């Protein structure tokens, strides 16, 4: 355990590979944690876009609280991947969600860095067993999948591939915890990991209800935002179910509501995202956005998220 703590303390410089929406958010967060960051992205104008994104994120990070030594001056940008990796103690990769590109990218990163440096991927759904296939040191390849936007949302999903060492997973978990994240460790590799699969299950029924004419897109959003979504922001489904069971807890609730829940499951839909459904959903969302701008919507969301996150950090019993 002492060696693990020391390994985490020794992580001072982060290489961020790929600086799109997720990568830029990670860069801002790492800087806010007082770390040095070397970033790289082959897209034209990537450095300018990155610095603009960090500038937008920084006020929110200031409200959340900056770590000692946090500074925008601790960022360096490199056009060449290998230059960005020099001296890195940890890598957060955010490249395109294509297996062939990931495999080659990790091959190059693996060749450029000492074997003890963790290579973490932000991949939304790819399996690390595939991504690490061409690495000489596959034992240090892990998933470090954040929830968007990483500079605000604490969740990170950490899992290795078939050749990943338990030590690498433990070190990644400890590192993310040390910088204020809330990491979880899926026990098995599955497409989409945990959080995205849970989201996908909800999206599936939300699309089905619109397709069947049961509800509008606005009805669905209202049902979640002013119903279960409020509870889900505080606790997950199992603790919410446990509270619903009263003194008998979740077992009492399942004994009494298990059959109805099973009947709902049997009635859930399996929609196809047809052109007709895409048009219906797009029209519904356009109606919802009447008189609103994306900037105003996102800005207000972020301000409320900041308050919620700050409140959750004060919780004594909630997870």
Q: What is the tens place of the pLDDT at every residue in 151-194? A: 999 999 999 999 999 999 999 999 999 999 999 999 999 999 99
CATH code, domain carrying 237? 1.10.1040.10
Euclidean distance between the first and the last CA atom of the chain, given in angstroms as a whole number: 24
Residue 142 sits in the same domain as residue 214: no
Instruction: State how far the Cα of 54 lies from the Cα of 56, in Å rounded to an integer.
Output: 5
Is residue 319 domain-resident? no
Better pLDDT: 235 or 5:
235
Instruction: State how far the Cα of 245 lies from the Cα of 231, in Å rounded to an integer.
Output: 15
Number of domains in the chain: 2
Residue 153 sits in the same domain as residue 216: no
Is residue 317 domain-resident? no
Residue 242 sits in the same domain as residue 173: no
To 5 degrees, how large is the angle CA 294–CA 75–CA 33? Answer: 75
Per-residue pLDDT, 4: 83
pLDDT tens, residue by residue, 6-30: 878 899 999 999 999 999 999 999 9
Residue 234 sits in the same domain as residue 271: yes
Residue 167 sits in the same domain as residue 209: no
Residue 61 sits in the same domain as residue 143: yes
* Domain end residue (candidates: 153, 184, 215): 184
Is residue 189 domain-resident? no
State the average pLDDT for the chain. 95
Please give the C-alpha separations between residue 59 and each of 3, 9, 13, in angstroms, as whole numbers. Answer: 36, 27, 23
54: nearest Cα among 88, 85, 16, 23: 23
Full residue range of the structural domain in which residue 165 is found: 2-184
Residue 172 sits in the same domain as residue 209: no
Per-residue pLDDT, 201: 97
Given a contact cutoff of 8 angstroms between Cβ atoms, the answer to whether 182 and 151 are in contact is no
Residue 174 sits in the same domain as residue 210: no
Does pLDDT of 1 surpass 70? no
């Amino acid at each position: 355990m002492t060696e693990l703590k020391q390994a985490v303390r020794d992580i001072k410089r982060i290489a961020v590979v790929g600086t799109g929406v997720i990568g830029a958010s990670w860069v801002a967060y790492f800087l806010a944690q007082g770390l040095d960051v070397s970033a790289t992205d082959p897209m034209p104008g990537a450095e300018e876009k990155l610095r603009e994104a960090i500038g937008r994120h920084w006020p929110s990070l200031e409200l959340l609280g900056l770590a000692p030594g946090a500074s925008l001056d601790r960022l360096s940008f490199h056009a060449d991947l290998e230059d960005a990796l020099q001296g890195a103690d940890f890598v957060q990769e955010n490249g395109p969600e294509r297996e062939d590109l990931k495999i080659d990218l990790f091959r190059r990163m693996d060749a450029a860095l000492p074997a003890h440096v963790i290579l973490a991927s932000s991949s939304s759904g790819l399996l690390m067993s595939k991504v690490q296939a061409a690495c000489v040191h596959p034992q240090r390849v892990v998933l470090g999948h954040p929830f968007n936007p990483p500079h605000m949302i604490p969740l990170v999903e950490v899992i290795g591939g078939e050749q990943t060492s338990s030590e690498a997973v433990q070190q990644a978990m400890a590192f993310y915890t040390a910088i204020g994240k809330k990491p979880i460790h899926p026990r098995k590799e599955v497409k989409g990991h945990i959080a995205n699969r849970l989201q996908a299950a909800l999206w599936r029924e939300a699309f089905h209800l619109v397709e069947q004419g049961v509800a509008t897109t606005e009805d669905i959003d209202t049902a979640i935002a002013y119903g279960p979504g409020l509870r889900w922001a505080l606790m997950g489904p199992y603790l919410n179910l446990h509270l619903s069971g009263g003194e008998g807890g979740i077992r009492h609730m399942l004994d009494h509501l298990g059959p109805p829940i099973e009947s709902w499951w049997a009635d859930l839909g399996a929609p196809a995202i047809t052109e007709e459904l895409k048009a219906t959903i797009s029209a519904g969302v356009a109606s919802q956005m009447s008189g609103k701008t994306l900037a105003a919507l996102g800005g207000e969301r972020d301000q409320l998220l900041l308050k919620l996150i700050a409140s959750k950090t004060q919780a004594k019993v909630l997870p």
